[in-house]
Amino acid sequence: MTVSGTTDQQAVVQEIAAALKDKPGALLPILHGVQDTLGYIPSESIPDIAKALNLSRAEVHGVVSFYHYFRNTPPGKQTIHLCRAESCQSMGSKELEAHVKTSLGIDFHETTADGKFSLEPVYCLGNCACSPAMQIGNEVYGRVSTTLFDSTINELRDVL
């Protein structure tokens, strides 16, 4: 679910923060709730979260920036998770990674200019026997070559 508009986003963030602020270690559940709802953690939400938990903005920002899972920009329509674990590396994922980045024109934690794809690293998809692996949406792909990547992305581009 994505919510558009700063006012709507603020209301969502405040609602999530109010609902979870009394949980032990509430910051991470609130951040997960915001990202699950909005697709990312808008920088405008940091003051509201900090206020709800009586933390400084720097403390909240530090947690958001520390964990690679959290995004501070809207994600693309599809997120490509590219495995960087040892098994995939031994089967050519570094070359695949270079191809993917060049092909999409983005780095990890970025979104293509057309808003269709975001690229995220992952450190195991549990598909080691079929390395290198990637996941797009709920679909896990094994033995991913540059050719398989290109054909998959081209098919997705046509429907997005």
Given this model, what pLDDT does residue 2 score? 47
Distance CA 4, CA 76 (A): 14
pLDDT tens profile 150-160: 999 999 999 98
Q: How many helices (H) and strands (E) does the chain have?
A: 7, 5
Given this model, what pLDDT does residue 4 score? 56
Residue 134 pLDDT > 80, yes or no? Answer: yes
Sequence-ordered alpha helix ranges (H) in the chain: 6-20, 27-38, 46-53, 57-66, 86-90, 93-104, 146-159
Longest dimension (CA), the chain: 51
Residue 1 pLDDT > 70, yes or no? Answer: no
Q: Which two tokens stand for residue 32?
A: 């997960």
The pLDDT-based confidence of 7 (bands split at 50, 70, 90) is: confident
Query: What residues does each domain of the chain span?
Result: 6-66, 78-159
Q: Which CATH class is domain 78-159?
A: alpha beta
